Chains A and B, each alone.
Chain A
């Protein structure tokens, strides 16, 4: 039990390393990676079954790593990190199924490394450890966009790495400063989150430090103004990466804000709150309008992702219980829905070699099953009642109204904007007359339906029985929120 988390973390690495040493054939590689991702899912489920909802940080494992500087290999989970861990563990097998036909081995190795990196970010409780995983998960993404992507892939790969590294470097400086301050004030070295959270700074320093962290996360989310890498990276990425980017990576930015930003800097973040809320609101409108203007499916949903992430961030910064639980709920449901939609765009791209909307149309008449699933995920993103997104967005909007009337009005526009561009996209893609590229469009195969069905089921369950998930993280959420509000007062 003690080492379950470490196993989740290191199994993909171990598999990648052994497979690489023995240079196995593509068939073996495919089977083994799929098997390992199932194993990780199993471990994650076991962890969930032993998880105590009221228990705060659990499965804590702490061993010394660099003793001179008190840097520890320190991992643990609370309800929110467990949620993200389950998401990545669930998505990975589906992604491996979706790329089953892939002949290039690099795909599998990079995805394994990526899984390990993301799990590490979710579990890490030591800031240096967190930084290590936070940076290393970029590398597989960089290589995959550049090697297997589309369009201006070289440029876009470089762009995503340079922009995100810029953010993380500013965070690194803040981390080092925090660690050193801990050393001078407390007397021993530590980079442990719980220890660093005890530190007190004067207001100017803490605002600067919080800003350094915020920059890293704002680029990753991305908030409006830090978003220039987003659409190019999404449109250049291969399916597997775009799924991970929108379903997990972007959420990690929000998670980082929640876990590190709010734990370390309760008060100084208050200084940024109006600005961040403003950026989120601009983002919601801006991304929605941009989504309407795009001509290519991936870019449409890239901007739609951006709009929803702005909404989640908005929820996080309004710091009331509705908005927080709504934000985390949307985190989960949007991850599932956008994973579904990007997987389907990948399937569509394989069939037509073209995801320009102008060339599509009439799919519903020849591929009804495809049309059904596509429409379902698209609607789930807009948050139609019956899917999880509805509950989540409703909660955030209620929270937004509680915060301020006009904030609530603009937040509610996400739903409106999403409905606008999604329906228009659906109309142009699925309906109308068939075109040259969609003339011989094959319907979904059994495997593809098998990949998508779990996602549909989860979306429905979260939509119909919201209390299941809400209760799950309610306890840790309220404690954190109370702690936070206590700190502000």
Chain B
């Protein structure tokens, strides 16, 4: 019991924090910065506990006597929780100035954000399909509200409406899929489904496979894979900067947590059926994402479209899993971490700029001469772009390297070549920004480096990306390129069947 209480602590803290902030936000006269501080305090506390749990958890169920085996606690779920929590903390801290610069933020914003995180954390723990559905919806519904939080902006409202309609439609597929699966198997536990699949022939369970395909539709929609990508660019552009940042980093990772779990455990018996579909989706996603990214004029739009491309890379690795690649799963986790770091940094700089000046849209042209105005910020942005482009000496390169390696291990050399081709195309749109920052004279005079939490965090992110790319065991406690991979494969080992 005590052990369970200890394991549930991070989740409980977030839930309590969300309720507390909900009530607290009724009190007038509280400054926004204080809400932010309280939220960050809850998140940090939870993060610390998760970090400790990561050291000594193996494979456990949360309150087995009450919930049966609905919630699983292993290193994988803990690792994902660590990512969500740090994503949320970084989002809140980096956007501290941004919140102050806009008048539509209030206490509820933070409560909603915590609820969303709670949903994601539950999703990482889930071992059962109904819980998975509830968690996905909890994370999504709060995000619908957050996307439309800027109620002065028509664009924001439009984005919310688009997201809500498409998102709920996609959600319906999941519940339909779950119903079909339950109809065949008679249980919604991942383990039971696996057992059923393993002991039956393919032609006996058409309905089950159809159900699982429906579930895949929802998951692919949520990560923004083609052909379910149409919402991504509009929603990303329409939402306020903090929400875009939050969505791009944490939500995607959350969906991957359940996708990986489903894929590694349940889908294993039907890999031959599903692998070709994943392959087609991956190729389509990479192509369409690249085309979209090239044609964007706003930086936010480019980052949104490029996030589609990054999903495509991870789908390559997912495909490699289905062909039996042994290190594709850890490659996905490494890639998620690397994308997380780079995207948080890039979006962070955008929101820093948006809070600083009245550049609401931040088109590419606004970055002309940026390097001469703010050399450190531009250097950090360059590092983020290089990492997203997969340039060596950044963590992004290693991420891509592992992905292509897993594709080659699966015997798909052409697919790896195609991925490298897409990486080559991405050089164009990422270097376009670097070129704009460095090649043009600046209209404004050089500014001093603004020391604040957000800027320091951005610089720290940039350093971490470089360290993740070249780092070794030189500094023992900071996981470099090597350590992160160890963590990822350790986490995967504890996943049970």
Which residues of A approach B to under 8 Å, CB–CB? 20, 63-69, 73, 106, 128, 131-132, 135-136, 139, 142-143, 146-147, 153-154, 157-158, 161-162, 165-166, 169-170, 172-173, 176-177, 179-180
Pairs A–B under 8 Å by Cβ, sample size 27: A63-B472, A66-B398, A66-B481, A66-B485, A68-B486, A73-B472, A128-B401, A131-B392, A132-B392, A132-B397, A142-B431, A142-B435, A143-B434, A143-B438, A146-B439, A153-B439, A154-B435, A158-B435, A161-B427, A162-B427, A162-B428, A166-B424, A169-B421, A172-B420, A173-B420, A177-B413, A180-B408
B 63-95 binary contact with A (CB < 8 Å = 1; else 0):
000000000000000000000000000000000
Interface residues of B (CB under 8 A from A): 379, 386, 391-393, 397-398, 401, 404-405, 408-409, 413, 416-417, 420-421, 423-424, 427-428, 431-432, 434-435, 438-439, 470, 472-473, 481-482, 485-486, 489
Known: A139-B391, A158-B431, A176-B408. A146 touches B438 (CB 8 A): yes
User: Inter-chain contact count A-B, CB under 8 Å?
Assistant: 85
User: Which of chain B's residues have a CB closer than 8 A to the CB of A154?
Assistant: 435, 439
Given contact pairs A66-B481, A176-B408, A169 touches B391 in the complex (Cβ within 8 A) = no
Assess whether B435 is in contact with A157, with CB atoms less than 8 Å apart.
yes
Interfacial chain B residues near A143, Cβ < 8 Å: 434, 438
Q: Which residue of B lies closest to A170 (CB)?
A: B420
With A66-B482, A177-B408 known, 16 other A-B pairs at CB within 8 A are A65-B481, A66-B472, A68-B486, A128-B401, A136-B391, A136-B392, A139-B386, A162-B424, A165-B424, A169-B421, A170-B420, A172-B420, A173-B413, A176-B404, A176-B416, A177-B413
Q: Is the CB of A180 within 8 A of B405?
A: yes
Give Cα A147 to B416, complex, Å: 34
Q: Which residues of chain A have C-beta atoms less than 8 A from B473's C-beta?
A: 64
In this complex, what residue of A is CB-closest to B449?
A23
Cβ-closest chain A residue relative to B404: A176
Shortest beta-carbon distance from B396 to chain A in Å: 12
Contact yes or no, A67 B482, CB < 8 A: yes
Q: In the complex, which residues of chain A have a beta carbon less than 8 angstroms from the beta carbon of B423?
A: 169
Question: In the complex, which of the residues B386, B424, B489 contacts A169, with contact meaning CB atoms closer than 8 Å?
Answer: B424
- Bound complex: CA of A173 vs CA of B400, how far in Å? 11
Complex Cα gap A63–B489 (Å): 23
Please, how many angstroms separate the alpha-carbon atoms of A489 and B77 in the complex?
Answer: 57
- Smallest CB–CB gap between A5 and chain B, Å? 17
- Rounded to whole Å, the gap between the CB of B371 and the closest CB of chain A is 8
With CB as the reference atom, state the residue of chain A lying closest to B435.
A146
What DSSP secondary structure best describes chain A's contact surface? helix
- In the assembled complex, the CB of A102 is this many whole angstroms from the nearest CB of chain B, namely 16
Q: For the complex, would chain B's binding face be called helix, strand, loop or mixed by DSSP majority?
A: helix
Q: Give Cα A54 to B392, complex, Å.
A: 34
A70 CA / B481 CA spacing, docked (Å): 13
How long is the Cα–Cα vector from A132 to B481 in the complex, in angstroms? 14
Bound CA span A162–B423, Å:
11
Most chain B beta-carbon neighbours within 10 Å: one of A64, A143, A172? A172
**Shortest CB–CB separation between residue B334 and chain A, in angstroms?**
10
Q: Which residue of A lies closest to B379 (CB)?
A: A20
Which of chain B's residues have a CB closer than 8 A to the CB of A176? 401, 404-405, 408, 416
Which residues of chain A are within 8 angstroms of B416 by Cβ–Cβ distance? 173, 176
Closest A residue to B334 using CB positions: A68
Closest 3 CB pairs of A and B: A146-B439, A132-B392, A135-B392
- Whether the Cβ atoms of B439 and A65 lie closer than 8 Å is no
**Whole-angstrom distance between the alpha carbons of A131 and B469 in the complex?**
13
Query: What are the residues of chain A within 8 A of B486 when measuring CB–CB?
Result: 68
- Measured CB to CB, the closest approach of chain B to A141, in angstroms, equals 12
Chain B residues within an 8 Å CB radius of A153: 439
A68 and B408 contact, CB distance less than 8 A:
no
Q: How far is B434's CA from A146's CA once the two chains are assembled, in angstroms?
A: 10
Other-chain contact of B439, A147, A162, A169, A177 (Cβ < 8 Å): A147
Q: Contact partner of A132 among B393, B424, B427, CB < 8 A?
A: B393
Chain B nearest CB: distance from A89 CB in Å? 22
Instruction: Tell me the complex Cα distance, A177–B472, Å.
Output: 24
Contacting residues, chain A, for B386 (C-beta < 8 A)? 139
A166, B422: Cα distance in complex, Å: 11
CA distance A162 to B420 in the complex (A): 13
Min C-beta distance of B450 to chain A, whole Å? 14
Q: Is the CB of A161 within 8 A of B392?
A: no
Q: Please report the C-alpha to C-alpha distance between residue A154 and residue B404 in the assembled complex, in whole angstroms.
A: 31
* B391 nearest in chain A by CB position: A135
Shortest A381–chain B CB gap in Å is 32
Please report the C-alpha to C-alpha distance between residue A65 and residue B416 in the assembled complex, in whole angstroms.
24
Query: In the complex, A249→B248 CA distance in Å?
Result: 39
Which of chain A's residues have a CB closer than 8 A to the CB of B404? 172-173, 176
Q: What residues on B are CB-neighbors of A73 within 8 Å?
A: 472
CA distance A165 to B426 in the complex (A): 11
Cβ contacts under 8 Å, B489 to chain A? 68
Closest chain B residue to A149, Cβ basis? B439
CB of B128 to closest CB in A, whole Å: 33
A64 and B472 within 8 A (CB): yes
Give Cα A66–Cα B413 distance, bound, in whole angstroms.
23
> In chain B, what residue has the closest Cβ to A165?
B427
Q: Measured between alpha carbons, how far is A165 from B390 in the docked complex, in Å?
A: 11
Indicate which residue in A147, A158, A162, A169 contacts B438 across the interface (CB closer than 8 Å): A147
A139 to B379, CA, bound (A): 12
Closest to A154 in B: B439
B residues in contact with A136, CB < 8 Å: 391-393
Q: How far is the CB of A448 from chain B (nearest CB, A)?
A: 29
Report how far A158 CA is from B392 CA in the complex, Å.
18
B405: nearest chain-A partner, CB-CB: A176
A179 to B401, CA, bound (A): 11
Q: Are A161 and B431 in contact (CB under 8 A)?
A: yes
Q: Measured between alpha carbons, how far is A173 from B413 in the docked complex, in Å?
A: 8
Q: For A169, what are the chain B residues with a Cβ–Cβ distance below 8 Å?
A: 420-421, 423-424
Q: Which residues of B contact A64 (CB under 8 A)?
A: 472-473
Pick from B379, B408, B409 the residue with the most CB of A within 10 Å.
B408
B485 contact set on A, CB distance < 8 A: 66, 68
For the complex, what is the distance from the CA of A139 to the CA of B430, rounded to whole Å?
Answer: 13
Closest residue of chain B to A138 (Cβ to Cβ) is B391
- Chain B residues, Cβ within 8 Å of A177: 408, 413
Instruction: Enumerate chain A residues within 8 angstroms of B434, measured Cβ to Cβ.
Output: 142-143
Q: A376 CA to B103 CA in the complex, in Å?
A: 71
* A-side contacts of B470, CB under 8 Å: 65, 132
